[in-house]
Amino acid sequence: MRVRAVRGATQLEEDSVDEMRLAVVDLLTTLFQENEISTDDLVSILFTATPDIHSDFPAAAARTLDLGSIPLICAQEIDVAAALPRVVRVLVHAYSNRSHGEIKHIYRRGAAALRKDIAQ
Instruction: Tell whether 75 is covered by a domain.
Output: yes
Where in the sequence is the domain holding 21, given as residue range(s)?
2-115
> Rounded to whole angstroms, how far apart are CA atoms 53 and 88?
9
**Residue 60 within any structural domain of the chain:** yes
Q: Is 120 among the domain residues?
A: no
How many other β-carbons are positioned within 10 Å of the β-carbon of residue 109?
Answer: 19
Q: Mark whether 34 is an active-site residue.
A: no
User: In CATH, what number is assigned to the domain containing residue 25?
Assistant: 3.30.1330.40
Q: Tell me whether residue 13 is in a domain.
A: yes
- The CA distances from residue 100 to 7, 32, 55, 61, 103, in Å, are 12, 15, 34, 27, 6
Residue 63 annotated in active site: yes
Question: Is 13 designated active site?
Answer: no
Q: Is the pLDDT of residue 74 over 90?
A: yes
Helical spans, DSSP H, in the chain: 17-34, 58-62
* Residue 26 located in a structural domain: yes
C-alpha–C-alpha distance, residues 111 and 10, integer Å: 5
Kindly report, residue by residue over 9-29, the tens digit of the pLDDT: 999 999 999 999 999 999 999
Answer with the residue of higher pLDDT: 82 or 16: 16
Among residues 19, 107, 108, 109, which one is catalytic? 107
Mean pLDDT within 72-86:
95
> In the chain, how many domains are there?
1
